[in-house]
Amino acid sequence: MNNIKHLFINRFKTFALLSISLMFCIVLLMLRIKFTHSFFYLFLVWNLFLAAVPFAITTYLVSLPKLNKFGLLVWFCVWLLFLPNAPYIVTDLIHLQLSTAPIIWLDILIVSTFASNGLLLFYLSIFDMRTILKPYLTAKLLNCAVLFILFLSSFGVYLGRFLRYNSWEILSHPKYLITDVLNIITQPSSHKEAWIFTLLFGAFLYIGFLIFKNLFNSDKNTL
């Protein structure tokens, strides 16, 4: 409990700004509901909640003074399972095609704000996990692991957006999920869209990571 309290004190500014940003999303959505009497984009709240799960996991893990390797492995697998939910919100931009002309500006602002928060939670969680894994991996292996995680998350987004799989379906419907994944891996010519999306979206996440990393290191150097 003291470790969590100490963590919140050290990261008060980050948590405060993040809370303000998340609340702004909700306010925008409430305004849309009031103006249009439609609950269409309410699903974004659930998507944002799922996006916060990996960040909550790494925040908890960072607060622990020590974690055994088996416990870390279990938490890492759970974290990795939920991680694609964070950048997944970017693909919710697809719903803008259903917006009507008079309020499309508000819909763009709403979805963009939710997506931005999803990416913010994603990168904050990635950096926390880097900190957690640092004692166990060399610098080269850590960089390779992060790169792998970014592209694996991209593939997870594809599975969620286009094949409509949820994170928990690896437990509820593992047979179908594993079959689809193996088909994509072993038959790339028949699943070009999956590979193209994974590579391009993964590159998008990687570029964002490099920018975030540069800003993070710049902030540390100015302290």
What is the chain's pLDDT, residue by residue, as a tens digit (223 residues)? 556 666 666 778 888 999 999 999 999 999 999 999 999 999 999 999 999 999 999 999 998 888 888 999 999 999 999 999 999 999 999 999 988 768 899 999 999 999 999 999 999 999 999 999 999 999 999 999 999 999 999 999 999 999 989 887 877 778 888 999 999 999 999 999 999 999 999 999 999 999 999 987 765 544 4
Q: Residue 36 belongs to what domain range?
A: 2-222
Phi, psi (degrees; rounded to nearest 5) at 134: -55, -40
DSSP letters for 135-177:
TTS-HHHHHHHHHHHHHHHHHHHHHHHTS---TTHHHHSHHHH
Residue 192 CA to residue 207 CA, distance in Å, equals: 22
N residues, the chain: 223
- Give the list of residues 6+ apart from residue 63 with CB closer than 8 angstroms, or none: 3, 4, 6, 7
What is the spatial distance between Cα 203 and Cα 205, in angstroms, rounded to a whole number?
5
Q: pTM (2 decimals)? A: 0.92
The structural domain count of the chain equals 1
